Structure 1
Amino acid sequence: MRDDSLPSQTALTAAAARAAHLIVDDDPLIFSDSLAWTFLGDRAEELLGFHRIHGTHLVLVGARTAVVTRGRYTEDRLAEAIRRGVGQYVILGAGLDSFAYRSELAGRVRVFEVDHPATQRYKREVLADSGVVIPDSVAFVAADFETRSLAGHLVREGFDPTSPAFVCWLGVTMYLTREAIDETLKSIGAFAPGTELVVDYMVPADLRDADGETYVTSVMPVAAENGEPWLTFLSPREMSALLEEAGLAVTEHVRQRDAVDAALWDRRDALRPFDLSMLARARVRSGE
C-alpha cells in the first residue's frame, strides 16, 4: 500500500536514474538534470549506490535509458514550443521533475506541476531545505488521474484554457487503467487548439525486444509489491486511437533509439536503447 506521508517510489527511482546518468555513464550525456541528486534527500547515497555498484545491470541501464531519452526528447520539443510563443507548460505526474528550477527556459513559461499532494509536499520541503527558491512562475496542482477534474484544477491555479500549452505526461500511463488514460487525454483534447502533448507508454510483449521483456518481467512484480502495479500496455495503433478519439492529431510515435540524435548512441558505457516504451507526440486539433 502507498504511504501517503512519502513521495512516490517511482518518483524517487526516476530521479535517482537521472542523477546516476551524470555519475555512472560516460560522455556524451543524453540529459543533464543537475538537481536530481538534491531531490533524493537523505536517500541519495542509498539510491545512487545501486547504480554505482550495479550500473551495468540490465534493469538499472533500462531505467537510466528510459528517463534520459524521454527527458531529452520532451525538453527539446518544449524548447521548440517556447520559440513558437507557447507560454504554458503542464507537467502531468510531475514527480521530482526539476525543469522549473534549473532550466534557462523556465522563466519564459508558466509551469503547472500536477501530482499527488504527498509528492508535492516532499518536493517543496526538499527545495526549501536546499535553499532552492520556487519561482513565482510555478504552480503546484494537486490532482488524481483517476478523477475527471484536471482542467478545473489547472484553471483554479491560473491556467488559461484559451491559450495553447505544452503538456508532458511521462512515466504515468502504465500505472493507470485505460479508462483513466482516456479521460485525461480527453481533458487535454479540450485545451486550446495548438496545444501539444508528449506522452510515453509501455508497449505490449509482442513489441518488446529481449532486453525490454527482461526489464518488464524483472520490474513489474516489484512495482506491484510497492503498491504501484502496471495496468496498461499500448501499441502505437492503440495509443493513436486514444489520442484521436480525444481530439488530438498524432504527429509521431518515437522509439527510445530515435528519441535523441543518433550520435548519442555512439557510446563506451552500458547505456543502450530498449524496445520497451515509446513516446507519442500529438496536437489539439482546431475546431471545425
Structure 2
Amino acid sequence: MNRTYSNSARVAAAARAAHLIVDNEPRIFQDSLAEALLGDQAAELLGYHRQHGHQPILANARVQATVRARVTEDILADAVASGVDQYVLLGAGLDSFAYRSPLAPTVRVFEVDHPATQTAKRERLSAIGVDTTRVRYVPVDLEVETPTLRDRLLDAGLDPTRPAVVSWLGVTMYLTPNATGATLAQLATLAPGTQLVLDYILPAEQRDEAGKMYAELVSAHTAERGEPWLGFFTPDQMSALLATHGFRMVRDVGQREALDPAMWQRTDALRPAALARIGHAVLRAG
C-alpha cells in the first residue's frame, strides 16, 4: 500500500495543534510540534479549527486528542519515576513525544508504524531540523504483520526481560475485535509489569447525545476516506479482552473523569462526551 500519513493521524495532530490556538486556559495538553509536523497541510487543517472552533465536532476532536495524550504521558511519567525506561508507541503516526518532551532522553522510544508513514515523518522532522537519532523506528504494517510485532521490537533493541509502557491510541476503532486481540496477544509476550494505555470507542447504546453525533458524522467521514470504524467495546468487554491476554485493567475512564474536575471549568467550547474511554492495564506474570 502506498501511503504516507493516515487521515486519522493528520486529524489528531491538527486537533492537538489547534488546542493551543483556539482554546483557552487551562490547557489540557501542550504539543508544541504538532503544527510543524503537519507541514504544508497545517494551514488548511488548522484553518477549520480557527474558523469553526466552537463547532461541537471539531471541539470534541480536540477533547479526544488532548485528553488521551495527557493521560498517557502522565502514566508514562509515573512509570519512569518508578524505573521504567522503555516506551513503545503502536501506530505512532504524528505523535511528537520523542522530539519535544523533557522525559524523552530518559527512555528508549520505539515508534511502530507503517514503513511509508515513518519515512514521511522522518523526512518532515529532518526538514524542520529535529534530531531523530535517539528514536528506534520499527516498521510494521499492523494490518498484515501483527505476528512479527514482537520480533520487530526485539530487533530494534527492546529488552523483553524488563517492563515497558506501551501506548496504543486512536487505533482500536479501526480494527475488528479479533485484530485487536491479535495485537494484545503479541504484547502479552513482553515482560510482566508492562503497562498498556489504549483508547476505544463505546457502542452506540453507551454514548450520550454528543458522543452519538460525533460518532455518526466522523465515522461516516473516515469510512469515505478508507478508514471505517470496525471495533466498539463496552468497558466490561474491553476489560475481559485484556484479561484474556494477561492484562489487568487498572483504570478505565471516560473523558470527564480522566481529568481533574477543574479542567472542565472552561470558557471555551471543550466539553467531555460519552464517546471514547481510555484504559490503563498492567501485564501480569505467567
TM-fit CA distance, 1:37: 0.4
Secondary structure, aligned partner of 1:148: helix
Opposite residue 157 of structure 1, the aligned amino acid is A
Structure 2 Cα separation of the partners of residues 67 and 203 of structure 1: 16
1:92 is aligned to: 90
1:145 is aligned to: 142
Please say if 1:199 is aligned against 2:198.
yes
Secondary structure, aligned partner of 2:147: coil
Please say if 1:252 is aligned against 2:254.
no
Percent identity at matched positions?
54
Which deviations, in whole Å up to 9, do the C-alpha atoms of 1:170-229 show, x marking residues without a partner? 000000111110011111122101100011000001110000000011111110110111
TM-fit CA distance, 1:237: 0.7
Equivalences for 1:111-126 in 2 at 5 Å?
Answer: 111-126=109-124
Secondary structure, aligned partner of 1:191: coil
Opposite residue 69 of structure 1, the aligned amino acid is V
Equivalences for 1:210-249 in 2 at 5 Å?
Answer: 210-249=209-248
Give unpaired runs (5+ residues) of structure 1: none
TM-fit CA distance, 1:144: 2.3
1:169 is aligned to: 168
Structure 1 Cα separation of the partners of residues 168 and 276 of structure 2: 13
Which deviations, in whole Å up to 9, do the C-alpha atoms of 1:98-125 show, x marking residues without a partner? 0000000000100000111121111101
Secondary structure, aligned partner of 1:212: helix
Secondary structure, aligned partner of 1:40: helix
1:190 is aligned to: 189
Opposite residue 234 of structure 2, the aligned amino acid is S
Which deviations, in whole Å up to 9, do the C-alpha atoms of 1:81-103 show, x marking residues without a partner? 00010010000110000000000
Native 8 Å contact 1:101 1:135 kept in 2? no
Give unpaired runs (5+ residues) of structure 2: none
Native 8 Å contact 1:199 1:281 kept in 2? yes
Secondary structure, aligned partner of 1:198: strand
TM-fit CA distance, 1:135: 3.6
Structure 2 Cα separation of the partners of residues 80 and 196 of structure 1: 11
Secondary structure, aligned partner of 2:191: coil
CA RMSD of aligned residues (A): 0.9
Structure 2 Cα separation of the partners of residues 250 and 176 of structure 1: 20
Native 8 Å contact 1:193 1:285 kept in 2? yes
Structure 1 Cα separation of the partners of residues 149 and 198 of structure 2: 16
Structure 2 Cα separation of the partners of residues 5 and 11 of structure 1: 12
Aligned residues: 284
1:130 is aligned to: 128
1:30 is aligned to: 28
Structure 2 Cα separation of the partners of residues 81 and 202 of structure 1: 25
Opposite residue 8 of structure 1, the aligned amino acid is S
